[in-house]
Amino acid sequence: MFNYQDNLNGSAPLTTAQLGSLAQDGVYDDVFGVVVTNALYAGTTAFPHAKTSFTKEEVAGILSGAVQNWNQLFSDDGTQLPGAPVWLLDRGSGAATKAVGNQYFLNYPAGIATGGFVPPRSVTSAGVNAGYTDTVLSLTTGYQDVKEGSNAAIVSDLQNANGHGDYAVAILNAEFAPALEQVGGVNQYSFVKIGGNGLASSSGKQVPGLGMDSGVGADDINGITSTSYSNVVTGAYDFVYQNSFNTRAGFLSGSTPNAKWTAALKSLFQSESIAGAYAHLAFPGAVTGVLIDPANAPVQDAGVVLWSRLKNSTAPIQINFDATTVNSNAGGAQVITLGSDPL
């Protein structure tokens, strides 16, 4: 289903008839973010001006190839970043990480029908994969759009780049929390805030966007203990997409052993007991970046986001319930005790 212009893998995209024969059921919401090496996120002795927040336009510029040198951007305090080539650690054909980054920041390919899109750097007039510069990060060359083979490969190159004191950027799943990928007990990259409105004219400083959590104490994806995804749960941070369970239409209602086994598997995936979704645990005790969608959760409590995309990841998030609403089915109690959620 990802085999379209941004992720062509040598086979044609599904036809309208093929898409119409699919039955799609939402499973859970997967959290994504933009990561940069800590040389950029925290600054260095040579350039102590950190950049912890990116506007969506800045990320779009990087993904499209319009921004190929860091001196085209500015740090949090408004200082122009030093001249250094952008190293974009970019997933390759067929990757969900690639698809969600293109969709969220470039409206690609969903905007093709209306013209409201920007193609990623990897797609050029010469071909759908012609824009990649290489498949392996080089620590000695200029601008690179690296066609990474896996998220683990992205993490490895982030570690390599940071160890070299260089700036690199990537789209990454929240499952790869920085504390779980340390080198010598030290984080090598960090998730940045997304959004904001560029440089504030009054101060010259960039107005920050939002992270997937508050970034404070035990609610910090870049910390060493846990995160509660507080901004994801409320919908304030919406770089989150819904994983779906797809089968042939009508297949799950069949009585064959295969149909029964598949129905049981779907039920398991949608269960609140799935690791990381309802375990009341944050990393490293449970899988991170996984939150149950309230459209499928029988009980709306910790581990459940307040919103849903209703089985369509390209749709805007839609508030599914209010945490402060009194639930008559629960003896008049609130659906979620305000302040106790999330996780």
Q: Which residues of 93-103 are buried (b: 16+ CB within 10 A; e: fewer)?
A: bebbbbbbbbb
- Rg, Å, the chain Cα set: 21
Location of structure tokens 């054909």: 93
What pLDDT does 6 receive? 54
pLDDT value, residue 93: 74
CA distances from residue 138 to 133, 144, 145, 262 in whole angstroms, order as listed: 10, 8, 11, 44
pLDDT tens-digit map of 85-101 = 999 999 987 788 998 99
Token digits of residue 10: 């040598």
pLDDT score for 56: 95
The three-state DSSP-derived secondary structure of 3-62 is CCCCCCCCCCCCCHHHHHCEEEEEEEEEEEEEEEEHHHHCCCCCCCCCCCEECHHHHHHH
Predicted pLDDT at 26: 86
The structure's pTM equals 0.88
Residue for token pair 């012609």: 130
Separation between Cα atoms, residue 24 and residue 157, nearest integer Å: 35
pLDDT of residue 269: 84
Span 33-44, pLDDT tens digits: 999 999 999 999
The SS3 call for residue 74 is: strand
Give the per-residue pLDDT at 342: 44
- Alpha helix ranges (H) inside 107-214: 151-163
Structural domains of the chain ordered from first start: 23-29+240-334 (no CATH), 32-233 (3.40.190.10)
Tokens for 63? 């993904």
Going residue by residue through the chain, which has 343 residues, state the pLDDT in tens, using 9 for 90 and above.
566 665 555 567 778 898 889 998 888 888 999 999 999 999 999 999 999 999 999 999 999 999 999 999 999 999 999 999 999 999 987 788 998 999 999 998 778 777 788 989 988 777 777 889 999 999 999 999 999 999 999 999 999 999 999 999 999 999 899 999 999 999 999 999 999 765 555 556 767 899 999 999 888 999 987 788 889 888 899 999 988 889 999 999 999 999 999 999 998 888 777 766 555 444 445 556 778 888 877 666 667 788 888 888 878 888 886 655 555 555 555 455 444 444 4
